[in-house]
């Protein structure tokens, strides 16, 4: 199983996907991969999410993960559906243990020094910084990165194509996450591919 560092370095941006209709899954994943984004985070926020993971997992080049995973049952369901990595908005010990048991790469959300220390206690050095803008923005990330030199971040939450380069410029940031690459509603695959191409060039 690929480790989370490899997944975080496949591209500068992990698109965060909220997809209502499993019929949209494959065309969206194909457009994202064609645009250069391979790690795709399907949030478990819609009833279709597990079917979306199943469909996207069939797309060549896509490395499909599950986001908004809140507990071990959801983690197991996502892995059964084909998720190859797991993302959560926060960090709990039971979820970290479930990821370890399932041997699936796991990116937990952290927002402050205590969260990061709990992640380190659990052997997790690669974390999300969420909600990135609301939790203090780049100034907060810089302050947190100083005492945690070994930690690598994926800031997510409130980031756009315009602000992503500022985050990616920080040496502790391997990638950013964001929902801007796939606008809500019926998919416009040409537009999604163009947004993915732009995102794939960020930080280059
Ligand atoms: O729930 C999770 O596991 C998450 O990953 C949270 C998402 O990353 C953010 O909600 C995306 O934030 P926006 O790009 O501002 O829409």
Query: Can you spell out the DSSP letters for 10-30?
Result: SSSEEEEE--S-GGGHHHHHH
Distance 114 CA to ligand 1 centre (A): 21
Distance 92 CA to ligand 1 centre (A): 17
Q: Does residue 110's CB lie within 6 angstroms of at least one atom of ligand 1?
A: no
pLDDT digits (tens, 9 = 90+) for 14-34: 999 999 999 999 999 999 999
Give the pLDDT of residue 203: 76
ipTM: 0.90
Please check the confidence at residue 1 and state whether its pLDDT lies above 50: no
Q: Does residue 82's CB lie within 6 angstroms of at least one atom of ligand 1?
A: no
191 phi and psi, to 5 degrees?
-70, -40
Q: Is 165 helix (H, G, I), strand (E, B) or coil?
A: helix
Please check the confidence at residue 174 and state whether its pLDDT lies above 80: yes
- Contact indicator for 40, 18 with CB cutoff of 8 Å: no
- Contact indicator for 196, 36 with CB cutoff of 8 Å: yes
Over pLDDT 90: what percentage of the chain?
Answer: 97
- Contact indicator for 33, 59 with CB cutoff of 8 Å: yes
Query: Which domains does the chain show, CATH number per domain?
Result: 4-108+160-203 (3.20.20.70)
The closest of 75, 86, 151 to 113, measured between CA atoms, is 151
């Amino acid at each position: 199983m690929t480790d989370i560092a490899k997944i975080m370095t496949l591209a500068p941006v992990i698109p965060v996907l909220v997809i209502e209709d499993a019929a949209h899954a494959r065309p969206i994943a194909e457009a994202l991969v064609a645009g250069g984004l391979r790690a795709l985070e399907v949030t478990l926020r819609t009833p279709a999410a597990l079917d979306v993971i199943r469909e996207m997992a069939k797309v060549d080049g896509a490395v499909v993960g599950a986001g908004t995973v809140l507990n071990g049952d959801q983690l197991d369901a996502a892995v059964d559906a084909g998720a190859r990595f797991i993302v959560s908005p926060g960090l709990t010990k039971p979820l970290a243990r479930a990821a370890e048991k399932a041997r699936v790469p796991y990116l937990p959300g952290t927002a402050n020094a205590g969260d990061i220390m709990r992640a380190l206690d659990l052997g997790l050095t690669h974390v999300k910084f969420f909600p990135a803008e609301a939790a203090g923005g780049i100034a907060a990330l810089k302050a947190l990165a100083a005492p945690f030199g070994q930690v690598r971040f994926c800031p997510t939450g409130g980031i756009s194509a315009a602000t992503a380069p500022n985050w990616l410029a920080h040496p502790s940031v391997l990638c950013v996450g964001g929902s801007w690459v796939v606008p809500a509603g019926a998919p416009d695959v040409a537009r999604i591919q163009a947004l993915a191409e732009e995102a794939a060039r960020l930080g280059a």
